[in-house]
Structure 1
């Protein structure tokens, strides 16, 4: 292991050790996302089994309509999951983005350059791969945005299943990458998948957002104020023609994510802590349950690799994501002062880039939006998202397993707490009290060793020990 480094942001190398507050935040966030990702995997499996064994009942439930038609909200269950529940997911994404911008990796332009460029390249490259494949094969260019999104929960679930003990810096980079990725995905949805605008409803949504912001600035508290207002904003945004999930993002971005004197958590962190389990454990898995159910046959799987639209999605996720993120990261580091952590290698970055090829939640959503009205092609594109994500997961798993001993050693070093203080030793090495505690521990161990040696010697003298 290399010598401990100063954790100041300006001196920290790319993928170097995080500061203790950042480490703790990342650990909490990823813990919830990992559990949610496992539930997401289970929901996807249930959806596939349900759709391929009792397909009629799956379609009946998915297409069942409920909601007040007078408000323009007589929607199918699948529609409620995509437009309603995913608004919760995007609300959490908005809070994450706000926190990153004001208190995380993105607040410093120099630190933000790497994940921003990496995420941007990781969206441009898959789109170009898709357009190249469909251009050569004569397919539809409408699905160019499908392979551009990364599903952080799914990716972390794969890590949990593989048991890879990634050091916090790699996990933080993946999380920051996904946050920026979500931002660009939100922009794509808002710009390219907005239908005919209803300016009255859009104006009402804007007025609701303004009221939401004013109430926050006035310090008004109470879920009974914000939840009804949020539902009204969501309904107006849906009826405006702009995708309703944008309302969730906008409200998340309005929350204050900086801590004031005497605060252990900012309002944004507190609300995110409350809402994230709902998003990861309920909203996203239910969306997966009613979106991932596609009929899988030998012919349909064969079509994934022969039809230009579906092949473009698979290659975009597997090849485009990996090359785009890795290439963007390497070029940014090459032409800036960013230096890679000496404990890691560029193949580690490529493995992480391959893991980002797991696109599920937002990819499925964009697939539904891109091919609305063509149910057959929509299902085929969904199948290609599943296949591409599976291939990316296997590839990333193999690459990560090749370096698992290095990751385990770094992870163990980060987690080691010999003095039992509750704070990892690497963050205490400049604290004189830490050295006093460690000296006492070593002295106690030495005394115990001497007592055992004396007892063994006495036992041999009495004839009880080995000859």
Structure 2
């Protein structure tokens, strides 16, 4: 039987990078609008819009627009993450133990070290008991966008490593969200989630392709997850992981690939930017910026993202390469790997989500923590980009020396 699997991941991977680069730019624009709006004379209108309640109270869905962006739109984003994660686990960069070892170890290091640093720095402060989770995340769209813009001279293995790292990191962040931010779990509704997920899995195995079945089923799964007391975005990951990623002989593409192709532009171009529009509007005046570097929780977030990520990711890679048969990604030196590791400090979307979940009972501290996420993510982007540009120039010089130096002027 002819096997189309090798061609599919390669073409999809190239398309994925192009989409996420554009999505990263849209995300930056949405964040800039939110910051300008929240710090303008029209700030009261921004706050009123964010707090506007919409939805039927009888179904417990009378939520603010900001809440709808967090629980609703990000569910689609996490569905796309689930699809990508399933594909990488089955036929992609995480499909074998040897392939997965380095990016998974890097992701673990990039979660544990930032969390420990944030916990140590903020220990004893209000909100520190849960805010330590804020710097564990890496924004896959933003990080890949910076790499694509500033790391054009890097080999493709840098992108493969960063993608594997970010996907594994997303899985860890999803586990953190599911475990830490589920309250008053309702067993009956959780059972309804399990039944809906089982039906989705069965329909996938029966090769059913009718969208008018899947859309209501997906909405019900989201609603049941919301009623069960588990963060509703987990429903997106769950269904993504249950989607088929291997095409049948008569299929040009597997369902997971078709869904990614259709939904990723909506996720990167609408869902995540709208979430950022509601989440990133924080005060950035002198007093607010001063609190970012004096408030222990905010300082823990900054140190966790800027120092903890590169130490954890690079340190885990070094240990794995030294202690196991694993090797560095082909064509990457240790300095190249350090530059890529710096991009792990771009927390952004998921870090903002975790901040909103962990500090919901501390609204003043929440605004400071979100400002810390924005400051640290921007700094990590700029530092990472500078390191990548410097490594690109060094690689160009090394290649020139290897070829005998530049040609003489005529």
Q: Deviations over 1:84-137 (max 9, x none)?
A: 000011101111111111101111111111111110110000001101111387
Q: How far apart in 2 are the matches of 1:297 and 1:369?
A: 24
Q: How far apart in 2 are the matches of 1:341 and 1:140?
A: 36
**For the Cα contact (< 8 Å) 2:157–2:331, is it kept in 1?**
no
Counterpart for residue 402 of structure 2? none
Q: How far apart in 2 are the matches of 1:69 and 1:222?
A: 31
> How do 1:119-130 and structure 2 match up within 5 A?
119-130=107-118
**For the Cα contact (< 8 Å) 1:23–1:168, is it kept in 2?**
no
Counterpart for residue 414 of structure 1? none
**For the Cα contact (< 8 Å) 2:127–2:362, is it kept in 1?**
no
Q: Deviations over 1:231-252 (max 9, x none)?
A: 1110111111000011000000
Q: Deviations over 1:129-162 (max 9, x none)?
A: 1011113878723201000000011123333554
Residue-pair matches, total: 393
Counterpart for residue 59 of structure 1? 47
Q: How far apart in 2 are the matches of 1:163 and 1:97?
A: 24
Alpha carbons of 1:136 and 1:211: their partners in 2 closer, same or farther (altered >3 Å)? closer
Q: Deviations over 1:40-63 (max 9, x none)?
A: 110000000011112101101101
Q: In structure 2, which of residues 124, 129, 132 is the aligned counterpart of residue 141 of structure 1?
A: 129
Alpha carbons of 1:58 and 1:41: their partners in 2 closer, same or farther (altered >3 Å)? same
Q: Does 1:217 align with 2:219?
A: no
**For the Cα contact (< 8 Å) 1:193–1:243, is it kept in 2?**
yes
**SS of match in other structure, 2:123:** helix
Give the gaps of 5 or more residues in structure 1. 1-18, 412-467
Alpha carbons of 1:342 and 1:29: their partners in 2 closer, same or farther (altered >3 Å)? closer
Counterpart for residue 13 of structure 1? none
Q: Does 1:48 align with 2:35?
A: yes
Q: Does 1:332 align with 2:326?
A: no
**For the Cα contact (< 8 Å) 1:155–1:355, is it kept in 2?**
yes
Give the gaps of 5 or more residues in structure 2. 1-5, 400-410
Please report how far the alpha carbon of residue 35 of structure 1 lies from its aligned counterpart in structure 2 after TM superposition. 0.8
How big is the alpha-carbon RMSD for the aligned residues of Structure 1 and Structure 2? 2.0
> How do 1:97-136 and structure 2 match up within 5 A?
97-135=85-123
Counterpart for residue 375 of structure 1? 363
Counterpart for residue 254 of structure 1? 242
Q: Which has the larger radius of gyration?
A: 1
- Choose between structure 1 and 2 for higher RCO, CA contacts under 8 A separated by at least 6 residues: 2
Tell me the TM-score normalized by structure 1: 0.81
**For the Cα contact (< 8 Å) 2:151–2:385, is it kept in 1?**
no
Q: How far apart in 1 are the matches of 2:52 and 2:127?
A: 32
**SS of match in other structure, 1:332:** helix
Counterpart for residue 196 of structure 1? 184
Q: Deviations over 1:271-316 (max 9, x none)?
A: 1111111111110010000000001111111111111100000000
Please report how far the alpha carbon of residue 260 of structure 1 lies from its aligned counterpart in structure 2 after TM superposition. 2.8
Q: How far apart in 2 are the matches of 1:159 and 1:390?
A: 14
Q: Does 1:236 align with 2:236?
A: no
Alpha carbons of 1:98 and 1:367: their partners in 2 closer, same or farther (altered >3 Å)? same
**SS of match in other structure, 1:242:** coil
Q: In structure 1, which of residues 32, 54, 78 is the aligned counterpart of residue 19 of structure 2?
A: 32
> How do 1:285-364 and structure 2 match up within 5 A?
285-340=273-328, 343-364=331-352
Tell me the TM-score normalized by structure 2: 0.92
Q: How far apart in 1 are the matches of 2:260 and 2:127?
A: 41
**For the Cα contact (< 8 Å) 2:131–2:358, is it kept in 1?**
yes
Please report how far the alpha carbon of residue 163 of structure 1 lies from its aligned counterpart in structure 2 after TM superposition. 6.4
Please report how far the alpha carbon of residue 69 of structure 1 lies from its aligned counterpart in structure 2 after TM superposition. 1.1
Counterpart for residue 8 of structure 1? none
Counterpart for residue 406 of structure 2? none
Q: How far apart in 1 are the matches of 2:163 and 2:386?
A: 21
Q: How far apart in 2 are the matches of 1:302 and 1:269?
A: 46
Alpha carbons of 1:408 and 1:37: their partners in 2 closer, same or farther (altered >3 Å)? farther
Q: How far apart in 2 are the matches of 1:318 and 1:199?
A: 40
Alpha carbons of 1:40 and 1:408: their partners in 2 closer, same or farther (altered >3 Å)? farther
